Amino acid sequence: MNYRGPRRVRVSEKPMPEILHPKDCVVRVTRSCICGSDIHLYNGLVPDTRVGSTFGHEFIGVVEEIGPDVHKLKVGDNVIVPFNIACGECAFCKQELYGNCHESNSQATAVGGIFGYSHTAGGYDGGQAEYARVPYADVGPTVIPEWMDHDDAVLLTDVVPTGYQAAEMGGIKTGDTVVIFGAGPVGIMAAKCAWLFGAGRVIIIDKLDYRLEFAKEYAQCEAYNYEDMGDPVLFLKKTTDWFGADVCIDAVGADATGSALQTITGKKLMLQAGAATALHWAINSVKKGGIVSIVGVYGPTDNLVPIGNVLNKGLTVRANQASVKRLLPRLIEHVKEGRLNPKGLITHRVPLEEVADAYHIFTSKLDNCLKPVLIPST
């Protein structure tokens, strides 16, 4: 997969990835997914997304080659590759903040390295490809248990840990009312996980009926279309005895639908502040003293939050990239015991050669698409 500029991707031949550092391995990709985060890249909203780069931070595969300093993996292992690239040794990795590794991104701003996520996140090529170079191979990659379906495994690279961490950061207590904005794969997984933390009521909000129907069935939650509910904040206040929800989760992030493209003048992309509507709703509909958990990804242009309400309501706001490696052991258990069924989110299986179509379908929410998986032919 090769990025050519906003809303243009295609398949092209690239050199085979090589071991560049003794701690690297090379993985032959067997499955990769397209994520809502890729939409931000695809729309040209992430700074320093370079033409020619390969996206893809959700992939699994077979270890093809290992560097001399890799000791925990061997050639032939099937591995889950977390989307975060983490050195395992810096101060942040030591606290299991693998999404905030200080070494894997030479920009060393906030985010650590992420596969296929622009030079803002380290400039690594991703796994929507036949092969990928995986740095710090002894840290992130986790061998797929024999019993695990590989469709489940590929969703453990991001969607499951992100949904789970969204619920975890919400500090959900027994009986809590949890409202999730965004019924994409991440929001739906957050709804499913909210129950694992003891929620008493789970509400999901989106504008796409097919996703709301899916969420109702898959996560056994209430689901509402914000286009039919009048003011969503008022609706949520009313349904919670005017208190507001205990926890609100933003699983939307920058919503660039349409607006990003309108700002393209000639070849120059002007970045413009996003509306951050879901985040406004989350802050305004959570109860006083409540918690807002943000996993939706925002770019540098989305800083228009109602910060005054955060202060006046005494809110706790938590946000981060998911720390995949930290969560994998317990999530593998949840899948094994049948409490989580990640592969149930997959709606489309597409040959890698048809990646451009898959981006179009997923981004435009066509054909009831929820989660597309790309399958390389190798």
Q: Which residues bind ligand NAD (CB under 6 A)?
A: 35-37, 39-40, 158, 162, 181-187, 205-208, 211, 226, 251-253, 255, 277-278, 295-297, 321-322
Per the CB < 8 A criterion, the answer to whether 60 and 81 are in contact is yes
Per the CB < 8 A criterion, the answer to whether 372 and 34 are in contact is yes
Nearer to Zn ion, 55 or 92 (CB): 55
CA-closest candidate to residue 324, choices 142, 117, 71: 142
Nearer to Zn ion, 35 or 221 (CB): 35
Q: How far is the CB of 124 from ligand NAD (least distance, A)?
A: 16
Identify the burial level of 367 via C-beta atoms within 10 angstroms of its C-beta, where 0-12 means exposed, 13-18 middle and 19 or more buried.
exposed
- In the DSSP assignment, the letter for residue 16 is P
Q: How far is the CB of 39 from ligand NAD (least distance, A)?
A: 5
Binding flag, residue 37, Zn ion (CB under 5 A): yes
Choose the one of ligand NAD, Zn ion, none that binds residue 210, judging by a C-beta under 5 to 8 angstroms depending on kind. Answer: none
- Binding residue for Zn ion (CB under 5 A) from 158, 206, 250, 255? 158
Choose the one of ligand NAD, Zn ion, none that binds residue 253, judging by a C-beta under 5 to 8 angstroms depending on kind. Answer: ligand NAD
Q: How far is the CB of 307 from ligand NAD (least distance, A)?
A: 19
Nearer to Zn ion, 35 or 282 (CB): 35
Q: How far is the CB of 102 from ligand NAD (least distance, A)?
A: 17
Choose the one of ligand NAD, Zn ion, none that binds residue 207, judging by a C-beta under 5 to 8 angstroms depending on kind. Answer: ligand NAD
Q: Helix 159-169 to helix 324-336 angle, to the nearest 10 degrees?
A: 100
* Strand 25-33 with 113-114, pairing: unpaired
Choose the one of Zn ion, ligand NAD, none that binds residue 183, judging by a C-beta under 5 to 8 angstroms depending on kind. Answer: ligand NAD
Q: How far is the CB of 257 from ligand NAD (least distance, A)?
A: 7
**What HEC string does 136-184 produce?**
CCCCCCEECCCCCCHHHHHHCCCHHHHHHHHHHHCCCCCCCEEEEECCC
Binding flag, residue 35, Zn ion (CB under 5 A): yes
Provide the sign of the torsion angle of the four alpha carbons 305, 234, 368, 259, taken in this order: negative
Nearer to ligand NAD, 186 or 199 (CB): 186
Q: How far is the CB of 39 from Zn ion (least distance, A)?
A: 10
Alpha-carbon gap, residue 127 to 30, rounded angstroms: 9
* C-beta nearest to Zn ion: residue: 35
CA distances to 107, 253, 280, 303, 307 from 272, in Å: 23, 14, 17, 11, 19
Contact footprint for Zn ion (CB under 5 A): 35, 37, 58, 158
